[in-house]
Amino acid sequence: MIAESGHYALVLALGLALIQSVVPLIGARLRDVALMNVARSTALAQLLFVGASFIALVMLHVNSDFSVANVYENSHSMKPLLYKITGVWGNHEGSMLLWVSILALFGGLVAAFGNNLPLSLRAHVLAVQAWVASAFYLFILVTSNPFLRIASPPIEGRDLNPVLQDIGLAVHPPMLYLGYVGFSISFSFAIAALMEGRIDAAWARWVRPWTLVAWIFLTLGIAMGSYWAYYELGWGGWWFWDPVENASLMPWLSGTALLHSALVMEKRNALKVWTILLSILTFSLSLLGTFLVRSGVITSVHAFATDPTRGVFILLILCLFIGGSLSLFAGRATSLKQGGLFAPISREGALVLNNLLLTVACAVVLFGTLYPLAMEMLADFKMSVGAPFYNLTFAPLFTLLLLAVPFGPMLAWKRGDLLGVTQRLLAAGVAGLVAVAIAWGWATGGSTLAPLAIGLGVFVIAGAVTDIVERTGLVRLPFATVLHRARGLPRSSWGTAFAHAGLGVALIGIVCETTWNSEYIATMKQNDVAHISGFDVKLDGVLQRQGPNYREMIAEFNVSRDGAPLSVMTPSKRSFTTRGSSTTEAALLTRGASQLYISLGDANAEGAIAVRIYYKPMVLLIWWGPVLMAFGGVLSLSDRRLRVGAPKPARAKQRLQPAE
């Protein structure tokens, strides 16, 4: 009953989405309020039904109902509860259901909290949202139905891919999907604007919170995925330029560009056409990502779905939406009114530079992802584009971008004073140079570029601090005034500073990890001691343990430094009988931002065991950076300007009084 009700709820959601994609548009043409409001109630009802469907699938997994093929194939009755739940989206069908659930969630949010939007814009946005939803409901029902049944259910399931049996699966995919799918809202806004033929500064303000939400989740999702790969795959890598990772990086790059160009549009009514195009491209890249991951055109750890019919179906959706939206754009873009003018040296100019660098970087990643696929398809020639390619292309672009980052927020709108800004950034520049000198003196070995890159990171952080110092007048004004100004500073300014500083933090982490990472790989017997970066790591022994659905070989290491014992580390190797595969569980010892990392290989007949030990200086900064960026995003999101509805300005005036 749960299975069939969930299935039927999904079908009803499709029916509602079909109505939602047509009726509101007719309403908007006729200016009929009731017809336009159908969008709202159907979007909410759709959320209700997809939500019910998703909950039904979760319950089936929790109950280990193997009469449902999806549960049988991806679950096991002995699996811990958490993995029974996360296993719902640890497979193709379930993850697509999560995808549409989040799509419906965003649609529902626009319906519920979109009171500040003009009625016809909201109707258009929700209708476009429903087109996307209908396509994906059909895709799920026809090619990837999670509710198909088995008439004579097996006693035991086939278990979830062991690599996915980790807390990371609980966080990474939902975050990533909230990001991917969140960009569907800015896409719908763009299409709605094109259909209405009206676009102006207000549009940018309406889209901004949605773009920001998507961007925050995508940032966290990518960072989380990278950290997961780092500790789960067992050899300490955190970014592989894997096509699936690129698929999430591309929407992030263009989404970041979109956030910045929407700013220009909101403040200066300029870059309108470009912003619309970016909205379309960002969601198109999200769809492309979905296609790459879900169709199985690329074989990697992520491609646990391989089925040609699915691939063709998603390709069709992809062509329909990208092709359709771009043609609409081509047809309508010329008729859009152009907006304000600005000098090249100005805040707008800096943001254009930002957009230029980000989109070129995005194009580079797109090329690096698709070129090997095209070569394989056309020339039957397998190749891989990896770190060397991106070091030569992506790295210089980002270096330029980071050099420019501190300047952007300090330039004035319309006409900026580059010389003045440079003078004010002098302190930050000096901080960067000092950092270079220190890194140079302290470093032993490694690339000569590394100290320079660290200097750049410090410059970016110091630049963000300078911006806040300037705005609050920290050095030149009395402290009470500073405090008052700091409180009066829009939260988005704080957000900018945090997000930009996050970039610098991440850069420092990346450089330290890749340059001064040391490793020790050997076969160790009991009581053997490994020496690495000043740590003494002694293998105390190996023991076996039975987990809920796996058997585990645990090695105990005693870590000490200069004779003083620090900690006991217990990496393990788990073997899962049902799937006949095994995973490594690395042990991590965190010291400040640095980590000691131990993972196990195979044990040989004499009881010796292959061990990989890494010392990764400052590695955690790689993820603290994105967390800082996301925090900046949240601050910016909480800015009162974004929450404005019609009655708010009155309150703003009241708050103004004490200042006068």
Partner 1 sequence: MGAVRALPEACQMTLWFVFALMTVAAIFAVLWPLGRKERAQDQGSEVAVYKDQLAEIERDLAAGMIPAPDAEAARVEISRRLLAAAASEPATAPTSNVTWRRVAAVLALAGLPLVSLGVYMPLGSPKLQDFPLAQRERVPGKAQSLENLVAQVQQHLEKNPTDGRGWNVLAPVLQRLGRFDDAVRAYRNSLTYNGESSERRADLGEALSAAAGGVVTAEAKTEFERAHALDADDPKANYFLGLAAEQDGRKDDAATIWRALLAKAPADAPWRVLVQTSLARVGGGGTMPALSDEAIAASKDMAEGDRNAMVRGMVERLATRLKQNGDDVESWLRLVRAYLVMGERDKAMGASADARQAVGSDGERLRQLNEGLRTLGLGG
Site for partner 1 in 18-77 (CB under 8 A): 18-19, 22-23, 26-27, 30-35, 37-38, 40-42, 44-45, 48-49, 60, 63-67, 69, 73, 77
130: its two tokens = 């429903």
75: its two tokens = 């679950």
Nearest approach, Cβ of 113 to partner 1 (angstroms)?
Answer: 11
**Phi-psi label, residue 271: left if phi above 0, alpha if psi -120 to 50, beta otherwise:** left
Nearest to 435 by CA among 461, 414, 417: 461
Nearest to 372 by CA among 301, 298, 308, 293: 298
Residues in region 101-130 near partner 1 by CB under 8 A: 115-119, 122
Q: How far is CA 205 from CA 264, 268, 408, in A?
A: 10, 12, 20
Single residue of 205, 332, 573, 616 touching partner 1 by CB under 8 A: 205
22: its two tokens = 């047509």
Nearest residue (CB) to partner 1, 7 versus 574: 7
Nearest residue (CB) to partner 1, 568 versus 656: 656
Nearest residue (CB) to partner 1, 5 versus 570: 5
Nearest residue (CB) to partner 1, 202 versus 373: 202
How far is 537 from 556, CA to CA, in rounded Å?
10
Residues in region 434-473 near partner 1 by CB under 8 A: 471, 473
Nearest approach, Cβ of 11 to partner 1 (angstroms)?
Answer: 5
Residues in region 377-436 near partner 1 by CB under 8 A: 412-414
Q: Under a CB-based contact definition with an 8 Å cutoff, are residues 463 and 498 in contact?
A: no
Single residue of 5, 327, 338, 590 touching partner 1 by CB under 8 A: 5
Residues in region 283-342 near partner 1 by CB under 8 A: 299, 306, 308, 340
Residues in region 538-567 near partner 1 by CB under 8 A: 544, 546, 551
Q: Under a CB-based contact definition with an 8 Å cutoff, are residues 187 and 128 in contact?
A: yes
Non-local CB neighbours of 580 within 8 Å, separated by 6+ positions: none
Nearest approach, Cβ of 315 to partner 1 (angstroms)?
Answer: 17
Nearest residue (CB) to partner 1, 343 versus 430: 343
Non-local CB neighbours of 564 within 8 Å, separated by 6+ positions: none
Listed ranges 95-103, 223-231, 583-591, 643-651: which one lies at the site for partner 1 (CB under 8 A): 643-651
Nearest to 464 by CA among 504, 426, 507, 492: 504
Non-local CB neighbours of 150 within 8 Å, separated by 6+ positions: 66, 67, 68, 69, 72
- Binding marks (x or -) toward partner 1, 345..384, rule CB under 8 A? ----------------------------------------
Non-local CB neighbours of 479 within 8 Å, separated by 6+ positions: none
Nearest approach, Cβ of 24 to partner 1 (angstroms)?
Answer: 10
Q: Under a CB-based contact definition with an 8 Å cutoff, are residues 43 and 107 in contact?
A: yes
Listed ranges 197-205, 239-247, 501-509, 513-521: which one lies at the site for partner 1 (CB under 8 A): 197-205
Nearest approach, Cβ of 225 to partner 1 (angstroms)?
Answer: 25
Integer-rounded Cα radius of gyration of the chain: 27
Size of residue set near partner 1 by CB under 8 A? 99
Nearest residue (CB) to partner 1, 114 versus 255: 114
Q: Under a CB-based contact definition with an 8 Å cutoff, are residues 216 and 637 in contact?
A: yes
Q: Please provide the DSSP assignment of 454-520 as one string.
A: HHHHHHHHHHHHHHHHHHHTTTTS-HHHHHHHHHHS-HHHHHHHHHHHHHHHHHHHHHHHHHH-EEE
Residues in region 479-538 near partner 1 by CB under 8 A: 484-485, 488-489
Nearest approach, Cβ of 110 to partner 1 (angstroms)?
Answer: 12
Q: Is 656 a residue that touches partner 1 (CB under 8 A)?
A: yes
- Binding marks (x or -) toward partner 1, 135..164, rule CB under 8 A? ------x---x-xxxxxxxxxx--------
Nearest residue (CB) to partner 1, 377 versus 449: 377
Listed ranges 178-186, 201-209, 232-240, 270-278: which one lies at the site for partner 1 (CB under 8 A): 201-209
Nearest residue (CB) to partner 1, 39 versus 462: 39
Residue 445, SS3? coil
